[in-house]
Each structure stands twice: as structure tokens, then as C-alpha cells.
């Protein structure tokens, strides 16, 4: 037995070298091989999911942008309500599952693990960036709704009122449809987790698009569409959304006391913590056009972005280090207050371009 065990690696190596093992995907695995691979995958996901900290509540505000990402990056293999899986995907080995039927087999932590890290030896990729757990949790929230979602609901979430953009949007109309599926044709955003870009500074929008496309600003949901669109259309897209009228009402539902605290930080900063006043850079008609307007953004969006800056995960432009320095000294309560204040403001009349 000892001699046999000693020669076993040699036998396996020789069998591999002569091409005994069929790696073609036209036939399935042996039953024992298929069982072992799935057993190993499920066991690994279950074990690694033990380290995942599950939020008290899934971020359902992010379901809409998650649907947009799913339509671009996932539905081609997994299918979607009203959209069957591609014949090419059905010929893959292993075959990508119909997620509407499969998600019930997994806990939230396990879904997070699968979405964020993917699965080796399959066509399931990792999330485009490992720095955006908030996006991954939004996708988990979307997957939880998928089994009860009909075709009309899915199409509304994934495409809005427009038509599905092509996989490679070259024309301006197609690139605009790619943006509008989440930001809306009015640029006001279709969910609280999506920023208002209508009336935003053109220079800021263009710098942001380039930062996402070049992966200098991490976001799986933004990286896929910005890489897909023709770079020549980015200037036109920035100009288009900058020319749209900004939101003309308040979106804040925060307590007045919280908003007042945010106003104090925005106007005076936190001198003891060496946090500058937000309005020192983001206020006034003469501000740098590369600095975004914050008035009227949702509190949910601003809270997420400030936390990303605090963790050093936002970045992407030549001024991002200024925000990282300020945000790292803000507590969760400070961030919530600042977000509440700016969401309570009505944007001024926009001026376009640098």
C-alpha cells in the first residue's frame, strides 16, 4: 500500500501529461466529480461566510442600481425575469443557475461572499472592486427580491422608462440610456443611493466619469458602464447632465436638531478636530468647478460617500486627498448630521461648465 501511494502522484502526472482527462465542456463531469466540486464549493462558502458581518437591515435603497448592474453584468448568464438565459450560458460547465430559484438556498452572509469574491473554476467573477461592500450588500438585497419579481418590475428597475442599451454604447443616445437607467432621464437619481447629477458641475462630472472608467475611483456599478461607453461620449454626457435643471425641493426627512448640527459643521467646521468648514470649498459661486455641489443630495448617498472618504476608498481625482483628510476626523454622528443638512437645502440656479 505504501508503494502504491508513493507511485500514485506519478500515475496522475503521467495520465495528465498524455491528456487522459477530458477538459471539454461538451460533456459533464463524472457524478462523483460533480458532487465533490459542489460539496467543496458550498463548504468553502459556508466557512468563509462566518467572518461576514451582516447588517441589521439590507440596503433596499440600493436595489434599483443593483438591478441596473445585474442587467449589464449578470443577466446574460443567469437570466432575469422576462429574459431567458443565453444559449451560450446554458452550454457552460457548470451551468450558471437561475438565481430566482437558487438564492433561497443561501444565507445573506453566503450570498455576500459569493457576490463579492465569485467562484473559482466557474464563470462567476468577483465583484469588480473589493472596496465597495455597500454595493455588494445592495446586490444581496436585489437578489432577495428577485424570486418575487415579475418581468415588468424588473424592466422598470433595470432600465427605467428607456430601452435597454446595447452592450457597447457607441452613439450618444445609447450612452445616455446607460446613464439614465440609474440616474434617470432628468438626472435626479432613481434611488436614494444614486447621486443627483442634474445641474452638477460639468468639470466634476467629466472627472468622475474618467476616474470610474480608469478604476481610480472604486465602484463596480459605475466601472462597468463607464468602461462600456465610448470615451469620446464622456464630455457630451457631462455637458448634457450639467445643463439639466437641478432638484428644486428638499429631500431631507432628518430631525431638525441633527440638521442644525450639520449646518454648524458645514459653516464652521470642527476646529478642535481640524475639520474645515464644508462650505469653504463647496459653497459660493466662485468655488472650484472640480468641486461638486452638495445641495439636494440624498442623506443616504452623502453618508455612504463620506464614509468611503473616511476609509480611503473614494478618491479618483486630484482633490480627493482633501476630502480624505477632513472625513477621517468625522464620527458617524458628524457624518449623519452633515448629510442631513445638505439634503435639506435647495440647490441654487446652476451655472454650467468650468
- pLDDT tens, 184-207? 999 999 999 999 999 999 999 999
| pLDDT of 350 over the 70 cut | no
The mean-pLDDT minimum among 48-52, 120-124, 197-201, 212-216 falls in 120-124
Total structural domains within the chain: 3
pTM, two decimals, is 0.92
What is the reported pLDDT for 27? 84
Those residues whose C-beta lies under 8 Å from the C-beta of residue 195, and which sit 6 or more positions away, are 183, 189, 297, 298, 301
What is the reported pLDDT for 252? 65
- Helix boundaries (H) for the chain: 2-17, 31-48, 63-73, 75-78, 87-90, 99-102, 108-117, 133-145, 151-159, 172-183, 202-213, 220-228, 234-242, 256-268, 279-282, 299-310, 320-327, 332-343
What is the reported pLDDT for 346? 82
Q: Are residues 149 and 42 in the same domain?
A: yes
Q: Are residues 210 and 295 in the same domain?
A: no
352: pLDDT confidence band, cut at 50, 70 and 90?
very low
Domain assignment of residue 211, yes or no = yes
| pLDDT of 351 over the 50 cut | no
Q: Which of 176, 209, 242 is the last residue of a domain?
A: 242
Mean predicted confidence (pLDDT) in 76-80 = 95
Domain span at 326: 256-343
116: pLDDT confidence band, cut at 50, 70 and 90?
very high
| pLDDT of 210 over the 70 cut | yes
If you ran DSSP here, which 8-state letter would residue 85 be given? P
Mean predicted confidence (pLDDT) in 292-297 = 93
Q: Are residues 62 and 135 in the same domain?
A: yes
Domain assignment of residue 335, yes or no = yes
Q: Which residue has the cell 432621464?
A: 185
Domain assignment of residue 208, yes or no = yes
Q: Are residues 181 and 294 in the same domain?
A: no
Domain of 338, CATH number, reads 1.10.760.10
CA distances (Å), origin 56, targets 108, 109, 137, 305, 331: 11, 12, 11, 20, 20
Q: Are residues 299 and 206 in the same domain?
A: no
Q: Which of 125, 157, 189 is the last residue of a domain?
A: 157
Domain assignment of residue 251, yes or no = no
How remote is the C-alpha of 131 from its chain's centroid? Answer: 10
28: pLDDT confidence band, cut at 50, 70 and 90?
confident
What is the reported pLDDT for 354? 38
Q: Are residues 41 and 137 in the same domain?
A: yes
Mean predicted confidence (pLDDT) in 209-224 = 96
- Rounded to an integer, what distance in angstroms lies between the CA atom of residue 292 and that of residue 231? 21
Domain assignment of residue 130, yes or no = yes
Q: Are residues 92 and 41 in the same domain?
A: yes
The length of the chain, given as a count of residues: 354
Burial class (CB in 10 A: 0-12, 13-18, 19+), 256: exposed
> Residue 249: what are its φ and ψ, rounded to 5°?
-140, 170
Q: Which of 192, 216, 242 is the last residue of a domain?
A: 242
What is the reported pLDDT for 349? 58
Domain assignment of residue 349, yes or no = no
Q: What percent of the chain has pLDDT over 90?
A: 77
Mean predicted confidence (pLDDT) in 209-228 = 96
| pLDDT of 317 over the 60 cut | yes
Number of other residues whose CB lies within 10 A of the CB of residue 231: 12
Mean pLDDT of the chain: 93
- Rounded to an integer, what distance in angstroms lies between the CA atom of residue 317 and that of residue 310? 16
Q: Are residues 168 and 212 in the same domain?
A: yes
What is the reported pLDDT for 15? 84
101, three cell numbers: 430559484
The mean-pLDDT minimum among 15-19, 78-82, 338-342, 349-353 falls in 349-353
Domain assignment of residue 60, yes or no = yes
What is the reported pLDDT for 315? 85
What is the reported pLDDT for 162? 83
Q: Are residues 266 and 230 in the same domain?
A: no
Q: Dihedral sign, CA of 166, 170, 175, 176?
A: negative
Q: Dihedral sign, CA of 60, 64, 69, 75?
A: positive
Q: Are residues 82 and 191 in the same domain?
A: no
Q: Are residues 146 and 60 in the same domain?
A: yes
What is the reported pLDDT for 250? 63
What is the reported pLDDT for 251? 64
Mean predicted confidence (pLDDT) in 217-231 = 95
If you ran DSSP here, which 8-state letter would residue 315 be given? -
Do 316 and 208 form a contact (C-beta atoms < 8 A)? yes
Task: List pLDDT tens digits, range 55-76.
Answer: 999 999 999 999 999 999 999 9
Number of other residues whose CB lies within 10 A of the CB of residue 209: 22
The mean-pLDDT minimum among 12-16, 104-108, 270-274 falls in 12-16
353: pLDDT confidence band, cut at 50, 70 and 90?
very low
Q: Are residues 147 and 202 in the same domain?
A: no
Q: 270 pairs with which residues across the strands?
A: 275
| pLDDT of 108 over the 70 cut | yes
Domain assignment of residue 168, yes or no = yes
Amino acid at each position: 500500500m505504501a508503494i502504491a501511494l508513493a507511485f500514485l502522484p506519478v500515475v496522475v502526472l503521467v495520465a495528465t501529461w498524455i491528456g487522459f482527462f477530458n477538459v471539454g465542456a461538451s460533456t459533464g463531469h463524472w457524478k462523483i466529480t460533480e458532487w465533490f466540486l459542489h460539496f467543496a464549493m458550498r463548504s468553502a462558502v459556508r466557512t468563509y461566510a462566518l467572518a461576514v458581518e451582516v447588517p441589521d437591515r439590507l440596503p433596499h435603497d440600493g436595489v434599483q442600481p443593483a438591478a441596473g448592474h445585474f442587467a449589464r453584468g449578470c443577466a446574460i448568464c443567469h437570466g432575469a425575469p422576462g429574459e431567458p438565459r443565453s444559449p451560450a450560458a446554458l452550454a457552460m460547465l457548470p451551468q450558471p443557475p437561475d438565481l430566482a430559484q437558487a438564492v433561497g438556498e443561501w444565507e445573506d452572509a453566503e450570498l455576500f461572499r459569493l457576490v463579492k469574491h465569485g467562484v473559482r473554476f466557474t464563470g462567476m467573477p468577483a465583484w469588480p472592486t473589493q472596496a465597495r461592500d455597500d454595493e455588494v450588500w445592495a446586490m444581496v438585497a436585489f437578489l432577495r427580491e428577485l424570486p418575487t419579481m415579475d418581468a415588468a418590475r424588473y424592466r422598470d428597475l433595470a432600465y427605467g422608462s428607456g430601452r435597454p442599451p446595447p452592450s457597447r454604447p457607441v452613439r450618444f443616445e445609447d450612452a445616455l440610456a446607460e446613464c439614465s437607467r440609474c440616474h434617470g432621464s432628468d438626472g435626479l437619481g432613481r434611488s436614494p443611493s444614486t447621486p443627483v447629477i442634474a445641474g452638477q458641475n460639468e468639470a466634476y462630472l467629466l472627472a468622475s466619469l474618467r476616474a470610474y472608467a480608469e478604476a481610480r475611483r472604486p465602484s463596480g456599478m459605475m466601472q462597468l458602464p463607464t468602461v462600456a461607453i465610448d470615451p469620446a461620449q464622456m464630455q457630451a454626457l457631462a455637458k448634457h447632465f450639467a445643463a439639466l435643471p437641478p432638484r428644486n425641493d428638499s429631500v431631507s426627512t432628518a430631525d431638525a436638531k441633527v440638521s442644525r448640527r450639520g449646518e454648524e459643521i458645514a459653516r464652521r467646521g470642527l476646529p478642535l478636530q481640524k475639520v474645515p468648514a464644508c462650505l469653504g470649498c463647496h459653497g459660493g459661486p466662485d468655488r472650484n468647478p472640480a468641486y461638486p455641489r452638495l445641495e439636494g443630495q440624498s442623506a443616504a448617498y452623502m453618508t455612504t460617500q463620506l464614509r468611503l472618504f473616511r476609509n480611503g476608498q473614494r478618491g479618483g481625482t486630484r482633490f480627493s486627498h482633501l476630502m480624505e483628510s477632513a472625513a477621517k476626523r468625522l464620527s458617524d454622528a458628524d457624518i449623519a448630521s452633515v448629510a442631513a443638512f445638505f439634503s435639506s437645502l435647495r440647490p441654487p440656479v446652476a451655472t454650467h461648465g468650468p
